[in-house]
Chains A and B, each alone.
Chain A
């Protein structure tokens, strides 16, 4: 944090703003939980899940400089582990009609909290196993190898009939992703990221991103830092995937294709690669857009005339959006800067005033 003389006096005021904003949001979330209709509430909660997912990808892409495209695979691991740990024996019997479930999973039924933590840990462990060999690769090779692992995870899930129920997927997951659960998770993840990035370890991550060789010469064990970051990101992706599963309540391997990774990548790029607040804002914007624009794909009724619906149009919009951002505004909404109250007041007082730099 900047500790200039001029900002020393203003600091408590900024803290006040933050507390007020946070309180206002909590009140809003409570009201939303009470008064929103089911669909709107779902979109609102989906925002929180995408915040978690976007931050987990940004930890890699934005802060450690590792371009990974295998995120959907880790989400799948998280979603499946949490589903299998929370579903009742009865529910499992109903799902597994092609082949019975393996005995050691049959009678396991845990509460949500331990289940989601285990889901994250398993996903993180998978990330660790994959990361250790793959992180020796660079740039686009790393991207394609992680994409490959994402696909391999999906193929394994599809074929492990007696564990995952294969292509049939799992239906009737307990509806645990309540407004409270998702937003508290999102809050914790945001807090974690902010604190991490302000810490010495966060600096080490950024050093690896900026210049691997120089970081290594500064005594940073670059490979270890990369593996740690990859593992942590997989852990968070697993948590996000689990939350998503318990919100949609139905999961199958087709859900976790590259398309899902693409959505998260879009959020990260739009928000600014390397910006926490950028990811948060962008996750909310993109999630709402995705739901609002759903009408594009569906039949439309304009009183005077009807259209048959244009399936694919929504994705056309999103892929164009991604390309336009990357071509014309490579740094996204926030660049690698973070939101600050100065930025906001600066916006109103005089345009072009630079927000406070964080150290």
Chain B
């Protein structure tokens, strides 16, 4: 972990999140460099999703700070954080249930369409052009992940794996610099998981992204992550490259009986 600060994308310092008496995340220090794929692993209830929620502004941390590209983003609203270039997906897929696949992606373009209620309702020329751009851009994205033929289907009617993919596409449509994926492989068989990891590496290269992802099963992300953090009961018990994590006695202990 020796990134120069110009290369640093996301970092946290002494981040803690307490709910009443429960400390879900405790003293979490993170450093992610540009274009890295970093994994956050740990048993159920270890505080992984909570860490994501704090980073993306869904929760206000009890203590500590979050930095994105050397800028303090602690306490910003989630939409402002998205605007700065951090997009995320959710553990329990959260698609807009009344919308088609294309609309789901278009919603993510709302930010870049930059039109208020009146400009968009009156279809002013500037809005028209940006809306057309957004549609083209969304269709291109869908094409890239092989979902364009389903553009007019309802998002929630897609099979599970494709819903996950759609959620990633939707996050990409916000034009992020960094992507946070919350258990993208949940519910997939080993073959599907493997393909997903290939896909994740592909989008990293294609969209010049930095990726931070949560995974419950260590094996799944071994191949794809360059760095890993291991949480247990909110505490970081280890971090380092996959090989050293695998051999770390603390990690083995935490996972014993879980996997």
Contact = CB atoms under 8 A, between A and B. Distances in A.
Is A in direct contact with B (CB under 8 Å) within the complex?
yes
A207 B107 contact: yes
A23 to B, nearest CB: 23
A206 B97 CA distance: 10
B115 A200 contact: yes
Interface centre among A4, A218, A232, A274 (most CB of B within 10 A): A218
B198 interface: no
Interface stretch (B42-50, B76-84, B207-215, B235-243): B76-84
A197 to B, nearest CB: 9
Contact of A218 (B82, B121, B127): B82
A214 B120 contact: no
B114 to A, nearest CB: 9
B94 A359 contact: no
Interface stretch (A220-228, A236-244, A281-289): A220-228
A93 interface: no
Contact of B117 (A2, A4, A196): A196
Contacts of A219: 79, 82-83, 108, 110-111, 174
Contacts of B100: 357, 359
A73 to B, nearest CB: 22
Given A196-B121, A200-B134, A218 B110 contact: yes
A221 B96 CA distance: 16
Contact of B110 (A209, A220, A228): A220
B96 A207 contact: yes
B87 A217 contact: yes
B102 interface: yes
A200 B98 contact: no
Interface string B41-61: 000000000000000101000
Nearest to A201: B120
B94 A211 contact: yes
Nearest to B83: A219
B106 to A, nearest CB: 6
Nearest to A223: B77
A274 B97 CA distance: 13
Contacts of A359: 100, 102-103, 152
Nearest to A196: B121
A221 B88 CA distance: 16
Nearest to B156: A210
Given A217-B56, A357-B152, A359-B152, A200 B87 contact: no
A200 B109 CA distance: 8
B111 A214 contact: no
A199 B121 contact: yes
A336 interface: yes
Contact of B131 (A4, A199, A211, A357): A199
Size band of the A side of the interface?
A: 20 to 34
Interface centre among B102, B106, B107 (most CB of A within 10 A): B107
Nearest to A225: B117
Interface centre among A209, A210, A214, A357 (most CB of B within 10 A): A214
Interface string B116-134: 1100111100010001001
B152 A200 contact: no
Given A210-B96, A210-B97, A199 B120 contact: yes
B183 to A, nearest CB: 15
A83 interface: no
A195 interface: yes
A107 interface: no
B96 A217 contact: no
A209 B77 CA distance: 19
Interface in A207-266: 207, 209-211, 213-222, 228, 232
Interface string A164-202: 000000000000000000000000000010011001111
B233 interface: no
A42 interface: no
B73 interface: no
A192 B121 contact: yes
Nearest to A211: B94
A32 to B, nearest CB: 30
B99 interface: yes
A342 B124 CA distance: 29
Given A211-B94, A214-B95, A203 B106 contact: yes
Contacts of A206: 96, 98-99, 103, 107
A203 B112 CA distance: 13
Given A200-B110, A359-B102, 19 more contacts: A192-B121, A200-B120, A200-B127, A200-B131, A201-B116, A201-B121, A202-B120, A204-B110, A214-B95, A215-B96, A216-B78, A216-B82, A217-B90, A218-B79, A218-B174, A228-B116, A228-B117, A359-B100, A359-B152
Complex A-B, nearest 9 residue pairs according to Cβ-Cβ distance, in ascending order:
A219-B111, A199-B120, A219-B82, A210-B96, A214-B94, A201-B120, A216-B78, A196-B121, A207-B107
25 contacts: A196-B120, A199-B120, A199-B123, A200-B106, A200-B109, A200-B131, A200-B134, A201-B115, A203-B107, A206-B103, A206-B107, A207-B96, A213-B94, A214-B90, A214-B96, A216-B58, A216-B79, A216-B82, A217-B56, A217-B88, A218-B111, A218-B174, A220-B79, A359-B100, A359-B152
Interface of B: 56, 58, 77-79, 82-83, 87-88, 90, 94-100, 102-103, 106-111, 113, 115-117, 120-123, 127, 131, 134, 152, 170-171, 174
